[in-house]
Amino acid sequence: MAVIGVTGGIGSGKSTFSKMLADHLSARLFDADSAARELLESDPAVREKITAELFAEAYTPDGKPDRAAIRRLVFQDPAAKARLESILHPRIRERWTQLAAECRQNATPLVVEIPLLFETGAERFFDRIATVACSHETQLARTAARSLPRDEAESIIRSQIPLERKTTLAYFVVWNDGSLTNLENQASELAKILQKPLS
């Protein structure tokens, strides 16, 4: 059974689609963003490294990550962003590669939602990769609806491989500018393809 990578751009609908696809496939689901949040919240080694090497104000006095502060800091300082990623990314990869090995052993399908799949050179771990894409306007509208300031959204979009390029790098492209029903239909169709033996 396949290990499927789902990627895309900020607000393109990766999470929504990954859940739909995993449901249709009865697959395990790994979400790299949730793993990053969990590492920030509950891994003492991560907290220690970030506060000692990067920025003490990334955590509140009671030890909780201050996500807004972290976002601001990395927004202002690309070098800090790179260092934060160098702390988190190897740990996240270790988690999902371990899960992928388990799933392969148990013949269980796995959907891995990983926003920076191409940026982190993770292509080789997947049997198939799907890019979930939408127009730039839709990305901005979706991120604005989540109260992300427009300049920060634009900056995140600029820091990633362009979504158009991600569509050319993926095996499957899911166009998510339409309704949720439309997205659900695409998840259902893709699941049918993935349920057949892959060559």
Given the rule CB under 6 A, which residues bind ligand ATP? 8, 10-16, 33, 115, 142, 176, 178-180, 183
Nearest CA among 8, 160, 166, 136 for reference residue 81: 160
CB of 109 to ligand ATP, least distance (A): 20
CB of 188 to ligand ATP, least distance (A): 14
Nearest CA among 109, 143, 131, 142 for reference residue 30: 109
- What lies within 8 Å, CB to CB, of 182 at 6+ separation is 176
Identify which of residues 2 and 183 has a Cβ nearer to ligand ATP in the complex: 183
Identify which of residues 16 and 195 has a Cβ nearer to ligand ATP in the complex: 16
Number of other residues whose CB lies within 10 A of the CB of residue 155: 14
CB of 44 to ligand ATP, least distance (A): 26
| CA–CA separation, 31 and 34 (whole Å) | 5
CB of 8 to ligand ATP, least distance (A): 5
Nearest CA among 140, 161, 142, 159 for reference residue 150: 140
| CA–CA separation, 103 and 110 (whole Å) | 7
Identify which of residues 1 and 40 has a Cβ nearer to ligand ATP in the complex: 40
CB of 64 to ligand ATP, least distance (A): 20
| CA–CA separation, 72 and 111 (whole Å) | 30
Identify which of residues 11 and 109 has a Cβ nearer to ligand ATP in the complex: 11
Identify which of residues 1 and 187 has a Cβ nearer to ligand ATP in the complex: 187
